[in-house]
Structures are given as C-alpha cells and as structure tokens.
Amino acid sequence: MTWFSVLFLFVLSIASTFSARILGIVSTTSYSHQSAYLPLWKELSLRGHQVTILTTDPLRDPTLTNLTEIDCSFSYKTKHRKLNLNELAEVSSTQMIERIISAGYDILEEQLQHSMVQNLLKNETEHFDVVLVEAMYTGGAAFAERFNCPLIQMLSLDAFHCQYHDMGNPSHPVLNPEVMLPFVGKLNFFQRLISVGFSFVMRYYIGLVADSQDVLVKKYFGNDYPHLRETLSKTSMWFVNTNPIFHSVRPLLPNIIQFGGGTHLKAPKPLPKDLQNLLDRATNGIIYFSLGSNVKSKFLSQERLAILMETFAELPYTILWKFEREDLPGKSENVIISKWFPQQDIFRHPNVKLFITQGGLQSIEEAMYNYIPMIGMPFIADQKHNVNILVHKGMGLSLDFATMDKAALKETILEILNNPKYRYKVRELAELVKDQPMTGLERAVWWTEYVIRHKGAEHLRSPAKDLPLYQYFLLDVIGFCLVVILVAIYILIKSISLIGRLLNGILVKTKSKIE
C-alpha cells in the first residue's frame, strides 16, 4: 500500500467520524417559515453531514452534494385550495387555528404519500442519527420513532406556553404573552386575564394538532406506534427563532436554543442593473412595500387599493411595491410593481428610507439589520405581536389596515421619514442583536451536532417535566401551609374562648363570695 493510499484512508476515516445522517421535516407551506431553516440545512451539509430534507421550498443547489431534498412544493396547491390568508385576517384567532389544523392534516397526508417519503418508511436499511421537525406539523416527529433516534423540534417564531412547559421550562403568560396575542410591555388587568385564558386555549389546540396528526401516524407508520403526544414528550431539544433583544426576555433551559437574529440573511449580491439604476436615481428616497409571501396584495379590496395608490401618488418618493400581478391599473408613475424583488439586497441600498410591512419576523429582521424604520400593517398569526414589538421598541409605527384612511397613512409615512428617532432606534437595537459571541446559525449547528454526539440530551432534561402540575405550582405545599395556619387560628380562637370562659367563671365566683 502506497503512502497516498494510507493518507486517503486516514482522511476518509476522519471525515466519516464527524459525518452524521440528518433528517429534516418541514411541511409548512410558507416560504417565510422555510427560509428560517434553509441556512441550517446548507451549513450542516457543508460540514460533511448527509442531510435529507422534506421541504416545500427546496434550495435546488447542485453544489450541495450532501443535501437530498424531498420536493413537496405541490402542497401549495392544497394550501391555496383550503386557506385564503387574506380572509383569515378577518376571523378570530381560534377560527384561524381550526382552519389551519384542518388544512395541515391534508397537507401532511399528501406529503406522506410522496414516493421518497414512502421509501423512507419502507426501507429497512435506512437510518438517521437525528430528526429535526418543525412543530407546526408535529406528525413528522414519528420519524424519530421510525429511526429510533433523537428528536429536535423547531419553530420559525416563538413557542407557545404549553410547549415551553412541556419541556419543563418556566413560562409566564403575563411576562411573556402568547405570540398570537398583540400584547407587549406592561399588561393591564384585562390583558393579563386574556393572556392567561388564551394560554389554556392554546394548550387545547396544540393538543388537538397532536391528536389530529396521530391519526396519520397510525395510518402511514403503523398502529403499533405510540401516540404522538408520547413521542413529542421525548423531545431532546427545541430551536426557537427568537432573540432577547427583539423578543421579551425569558428564562431558558439549556435545551431551549434561540437561533434568531438574522439567521436567514444571505450574503450580498449585486442588484439587477435596471433596479440598481432606479435606486441610485431615487435621491428623494425609496419606500419599499410588501405584504410578504403569505398575504397577497392582489387580493386586497378595491377600496384598500385605492387608499394605497392615492396616498403613494401624493408622495415625493419612489415606491417599490411587491405586487403579484403584471399590472395595477391607476397606479402613479412613482410606483414600481413587481411579483418579486430581491428584498434583502434592496434593503442594503442607502436610498431606502422606509419599509411598510405586514409584520413577518424574517422581514422585520432584514429591515432591522439594515437600519430601516418600519410601518407595520399586521394581518394574521404572530404579525400583530411582532408589529407591536417594533412599535414598543421605537423602531416604527403601526396602522390598522382594515380601518386606515388616506390621511392616516400619509401622516404616518411622513412622521417616520421626517423624524430621525426611528432610524436611530433601529440602528441601536440592530447593533445589540449583532453583538453576540456566536450567530444563531452557529448555535443551531453546534447544538444539532451535540445531540448527535450524545445520542440525545436526556441529561439536560428538566426535573419539572416529571412533576404533576399541583407539585409544580406548589399547590400541595400552599394547601398544607393554609391548613396549618387555619388550624393554628382555630386553636388560638378556641383557646381565647376557653380562657375567656374560665376568667368569666372566676370573676363570677369571686363576686359571689364578696357578696
């Protein structure tokens, strides 16, 4: 054997030592959700791991030879058939959740029927070292049972209280209101009441998701699989897309990992030449307007469109509007529409002065990292919460899209553009978010490999997970103390009464003797 062969085998053995097989299941039909995880799949594959991903938004990067993508982009047809997100903005939070649960069942079932997924289920020689599942569709957690490996749950936003509690992590509904609620800062009594009640409602619905998708587990994995709730209870770690600067501060266990803070941001790319020239010429300033990937501008009512177009026409700024149709009749010359803009690279241009957003977390981060103040127009899900945070933090203002008029919209835009305090505040908070020992992506990669190295993270399990609720909230201790106090008070009262009767008897006897 030549020295070259020996060296080759040595390098090969070293490489294989640090190479793991990783399965990611992200069924959610939303690019804003998928984009939070795409950098993680890419980085893990570049580090030599064999990564297989079920995703609705594949990277399709031929240079990532270690990345296998199960393309489930067909699920968008089911989503659009079952859900109109513009309409969801007009229903209650609980109605919205019920519709999402119903659509989620159909979406996951279609994905489980995919030939590549069926091969994963039926191939007896297949194995994985860890499974990462987005907690929006928890049915995918059954793959951890299928391959007898650790489970990591992920969210592209913050987790719900019941999810924190299920990991044994303390979570206070007043200090940290649910992400679906618009409450930020110090809550008044009625907000505290609603926050506590809503936490119980969300526990019910999260359980409903698990029960609903457990039906699919039994159907496609086998009747001998444990209930999905039991599988989820064995979760080794949670990845939540939060950071302590933008989101409210909360205590976290070592197995709750925050990977927020611009994880999805890409390296700068040159803008298309015509767009670069447009931005360079717009010396008065650029306003960028986008409702994100879920809410569509093309579905807005004529009344709302008219308010936007009339307001934009009166402004001395260039408006870039992400609009999903080729034309927008009646728009003014200063409004440029396109079905897609390279948003991150546009934000890096110094002439961009304002971002009007629906309040998606990833979009807010993109603007924040480029020191751009914002106006929030929230529609659904966590958007109201996110927008209220950016207002509370001083990074912008908010408008109720359903009730705003032209005067309110114009006044709000001019306030942001003419008052430098908003841009200063965005810059200040962005610098705080950036000032950390490692990026969110680096944390997520390190802890994924940690779980692989130790075949789980049982040693980080909180003892609170094993406590019944009455013990966790000290109800038995409080009850015992109350009983002791009540008994002591009872004995004291009885003793005083007895002493009083004795003294009274003595006084009566003494009085009779004197007489």
Number of Cβ within 10 Å of residue 172's Cβ equals: 15
Q: Are 329 and 299 in contact (CB under 8 A)?
A: no
Which among 24, 447, 35 has a CA at the least distance from the CA of 265? 35
What is the per-residue pLDDT across 85-131, written as a single tens digit (0 to 9) for each? 666 666 676 777 788 888 889 999 999 999 999 999 999 899 999 99
Task: Look at strands 396-398 and 151-155 and give their pairing.
Answer: unpaired
Q: Rounded distance, CA 398 to CA 405, Å?
A: 13
- pLDDT of 73 reads 94
Of 50-64, 73-87, 119-133, minimum mean pLDDT range = 73-87
- pLDDT of 98 reads 80
- pLDDT of 91 reads 67
Q: What is the mean pLDDT of residues 208-231?
A: 94
- pLDDT of 265 reads 87
Q: What is the mean pLDDT of residues 337-366?
A: 94
Q: Rounded distance, CA 389 to CA 158, Å?
A: 13
Decide: helix, strand or coil at residue 7.
Answer: helix
What single string gives the DSSP state of each residue in 383-402?
Answer: HHHHHHHHHHTTSEEE--TT
| pTM of the complete model beyond 0.85 | yes
Of 321-325, 352-356, 504-508, minimum mean pLDDT range = 504-508
Of 6-10, 202-206, 258-262, 436-440, minimum mean pLDDT range = 6-10
Position 2 confidence tier, pLDDT thresholds 50, 70, 90: low
- Which residue carries 């004795």 as its tokens? 502
- pLDDT of 506 reads 78
**416 HSE (CA, 13 A, CB side):** 29
Q: Express as a percent the part of the chain with pLDDT over 90.
A: 69
Of 10-14, 314-318, 346-350, minimum mean pLDDT range = 10-14
Q: Look at 378 and 293; give whichever has higher pLDDT.
A: 378
Give exposure, 413-443, as e/b (b: 16+ Cβ within 10 Å).
Answer: beebbeeeebbebbbebbeebeeeeebbbeb
Q: What is the mean pLDDT of residues 206-227?
A: 93
Q: Look at 4 and 137; give whichever has higher pLDDT.
A: 137
H/E stretch holding 512: helix 475-514
Q: Rounded distance, CA 92 to CA 98, Å?
A: 10
Q: Which two tokens stand for residue 112?
A: 């489980």
- Which residue carries 């996951």 as its tokens? 108
Q: Compute, in degrees rounded to 10, the torsion defined by CA atoms 291, 293, 294, 299.
A: 60
Q: Express as a percent the part of the chain with pLDDT over 70.
A: 94
Q: Could you tell me which residues are beta bridge partners of residue 335?
A: 319
Q: What is the mean pLDDT of residues 291-318?
A: 88
Q: Collect all residues with Cβ–Cβ distance below 8 Å to 43 and sequence separation of at least 6.
A: 441, 445
Position 18 confidence tier, pLDDT thresholds 50, 70, 90: low
Q: Is the confidence at residue 218, as pLDDT, over 60?
A: yes
Position 511 confidence tier, pLDDT thresholds 50, 70, 90: low
Q: Rounded distance, CA 285 to CA 287, Å?
A: 7
Position 12 confidence tier, pLDDT thresholds 50, 70, 90: very low
Q: DSSP state, 372?
A: -
What is the per-residue pLDDT across 388-428, written as a single tens digit (0 to 9) for each? 999 999 999 999 988 899 999 999 999 999 999 999 999 99
Q: What is the mean pLDDT of residues 8-33?
A: 73
Mean pLDDT, the chain, integer:
90
